[in-house]
Structure 1
Amino acid sequence: MSTLPAETEITWIKVGADAEARSIAMRIFRAELPSNRPALVWLGGYRSDMTGTKALEVERHAQAIGTDCVRFDYSGHGASGGDFKEGTISRWVEESLAVVDQAVAGRMILIGSSMGAWVALRLIEELRARGQGKRVAGLVLIAPAPDFTAELIEPSLTETERASLAERGYFEEPSEYSPEPNVFTRALIQDGQKNRVLKGPIATGCPVHILQGMRDPDVPYTHALKLMEHMPADDVVMTLIRDGDHRLSRDEDIFKLKQAISAMLAKA
């Protein structure tokens, strides 16, 4: 992968009011020439930020093909304000909706990584509910983890973790990607139940491309297959990467990601 051009500047928006107010950091790349191509919108994963390899390469691809790109950090992540322990899917969806309303004038392709895929699916639900579903031209989902609190965390909770949730309101577990432990709060888990998408058929109204590693230790590929089964009416393509892990950040993985984005743009 070649070197990225100079980093786009951070701009800010305020989401929420009074005690719920938080400052959300965005990096918005605008194509030099006007384009009717959909903008690329990056939706990161749990505890990730907009400076990760895949997020940067998505912007680089936008620059190469001449379309806009929007990256941002959820509250409690990266450059944004807010306490991570106060984060919930509802809050992060609210922030995502505010970002696309502020930064995207036309159509867009949502690119959701891990938890970001869940946010993307909920974001589409919110847009469709207000009659704006056609703003989304496509979905690219990387190691998608919709409903991960109910589907992946709750069934595997130990007695110690359940006790910690009840007594402290959260539990911790070691992270393979950071020296700091992962923190899962009772609020996140309870709010996750309100935001479930795998409760029935999912209608996105747009093409979907799923990229999933078969050696993913965090989100098993069977979870991606389950998601696909919930999309009976959508044009869904899945790429299973036999030796792929959860991050899918190797050069060959990034190549597949860019291929998926380009194929989505060709359909738009």
Structure 2
Amino acid sequence: MKKKVLKYVVGLVLAIACLAASQANAITINAANSVDDFYLSGRLTDEDGYEELCVGEYVYAEAGVYYKDGSLVDPYSYEYISDYVMSEALFEVMGTGDLYYYSSYDTPGAYDAVWFSGSIPQEAFGKYVYYVLGAYVQDGSDTQTVIGDIRSRDPITSFAGTDNLTFCDNGDGKTVSLYSIWKCDKANIPSKVTIGNKVYKVTGVANNALEYKNITSLTIPSTVTSIGKEAFADASKLKTITINSTLKKVGENAFSGINKKATIKIKASKENYDKIVKLIKKAGAPKTVTFKRITK
């Protein structure tokens, strides 16, 4: 894998060097050292600056050039290579002019890479998205070319059934977890969702799922068996929680900071009810919260 990545980077650098040399007043490229002295690093976001990327969104990049020791190169010492030049170079090396690709691997240069342009396609759900970026770096009397594949922080999520809930792939091809709750006062997590043409069972809630802290009501379906760390933390207005599930795992501080007068209704047998209450209390629920067992 590493050899393939190195070959891809060196080939892309050489292609850019050839393109640059063919242009009037082109700068000289020292390709031999281009992958040794510097590296590109950054993050991908949506148009609002959030690092959670969903199917159908356009991708934006924030990046910088760094020395190998991790220190930032003076921004006045480099300039980013234009998308046009990068696109031409990619076509020379990879046979595609697209600057984005998705892959199931969390490191660049994977064999399953699928290149695309425009918004994130449905097929990228559950995979990582990469953006190929380049920069010319002035290094003493030489100008070096640095190429980097900037990766999405997490695998691609998808909105499903509502504009306020996103879901992430659990990796088994059958189930998903609630990934984030956006601007809604009352969230009713569904037991199943359709993403693309496929129906998935909702079995979990991810870490830090609650993006909108002003939520007042939450319903968790019977299919959910696990809740991640700090999933609903600091939701000080969250007063009504209904759990229709036999929870088996609740992450640290998942209920920390919810409303002190909250009522948590749990549909379960007496034995399971006691177990779930214990899990929720251990996960940081205020001592003043009221628990109620419901049977219907």
TM-score range, shorter chain: 0.3 to 0.5
Computing the radius of gyration from Cα coordinates, the structure with the larger value is 2
The alignment's TM-score, normalised by the length of structure 2, stands at: 0.31
With CA pairs under 8 Å and 6+ residues apart, which has the higher RCO, 1 or 2? 1
Q: Which has the higher strand share?
A: 2
